[in-house]
Amino acid sequence: MEKDMLRMLIAMVFAALVVLVTGPKWIAWLRKLKFGQTIYELGPQSHKQKQGTPTMGGIMTTIALTAAVLVCHPAQWNGAQDFLWPMLFVTLGSMAVGFADDWIKVVKKRSLGLTPWQKIFGQVFVAVAFAVYCYLHPMVGSKVWVPFVNIEWDLGIFYIPLCALTVIFIVNSANLQDGLDGILSSVTAVGSLAWGVLALMISQAYAAGAFTLPEANHHTLAVFAFALVGACIGFLRFNHYPAKVFMGDTGSMLIGGATVGLAFLTRQPFLLLLIAFTMVASSVSVIIQRYYYKATRKIYGEPRRLFKMTPIHHHFELSGMKETKVVLMYAIVTAVLSLIAIWGVSGAKIL
């Protein structure tokens, strides 16, 4: 137990230090290359001053996370069944789609980035491949745990499409949430801490003989989660208000991929509704706004909006909340819901 926790803490500190030490040089390099963020014209007026802030900072977190995980990975390698490989695949695969989108927007000067079909193709490929791997993996399979009600639900072959759709949804939700300085880094640092604790709990339960999944694989997930915590904490040094760098789609999709990967490999996808609640809320608010807009246009002859602006963090901004307070609120909500998620699993038969 003590060695496991030490390895997790080393991964967290290592990732944070990599970002903190290399960050200034990365930011200077991004400025030199003129990789500046283009601010959405219809966004909040207060965001206009952020025009030109270096973007694609997600490269920093990608390098830090990957290096920390490889350095601190448990000594026991499980070959093709090792959870390190699917975690790296869904995380770096999602990041690659975001990187391509950023590259086209920033370097090629095509403001829309990848076409919708190009982006969907990349995301579907990553999502389906990850879902099939999980389905065929003897330590994951088609069963998911339903917290609080203490039951295991076998989805059968439907696991694959449901898993793939969830991957795409969470990756894009993380991308949507990255609209305020430090918001995605903050909630991810808090949420990933929860995923790390959950993975460690399951790992220790296996070590005690109460569970059949290999201890090493869940320890790998715990190390991965804590490395992500460290990478986000390090990135916050440069990304908190007023941000010196943005993570771009490179970073936001990396985070989305890592988050959903941790959820499915721990067999706890339902906990995304708690730990990743603010990400989910970002997408749901956009969907509600769109359908409400269309419905009111048909009913009243003119469109109306339920929120002042979506994703919903912009609604809070335009309602008078300071950007920093919105970020703090999101982090606190994530912390509270994460504690509830841990409590919901701690008393389950899974442990």
Q: Which of 32-46, 56-70, 294-308 has the least mean pLDDT?
A: 32-46
pLDDT tens per residue, range 139-158? 899 999 999 888 899 999 99
Please tell me the pTM assigned to this model: 0.93
> Domain spans of the chain?
2-346
Least Cα distance to 197 among 340, 49, 327, 63 occurs for 340
Residues in Cβ contact with 318 at an 8 Å cutoff, skipping those fewer than 6 apart: 44, 308, 309
pLDDT tens per residue, range 206-248? 766 554 446 778 889 999 999 999 999 999 999 999 999 999 9
Residue written as token pair 């975690």: 87
Q: Is 144 helix (H, G, I), strand (E, B) or coil?
A: strand
- The mean pLDDT of 111-126, rounded to a whole number, is 89
Annotate 336-348 with three-state secondary structure: HHHHHHHHHHHCC
Give the pLDDT confidence score for residue 174 in this predicted structure.
98
* CA atoms within 13 A of residue 149's CA, in its CB half-sphere: 9
Helix or strand run (H / E) with residue 308: none
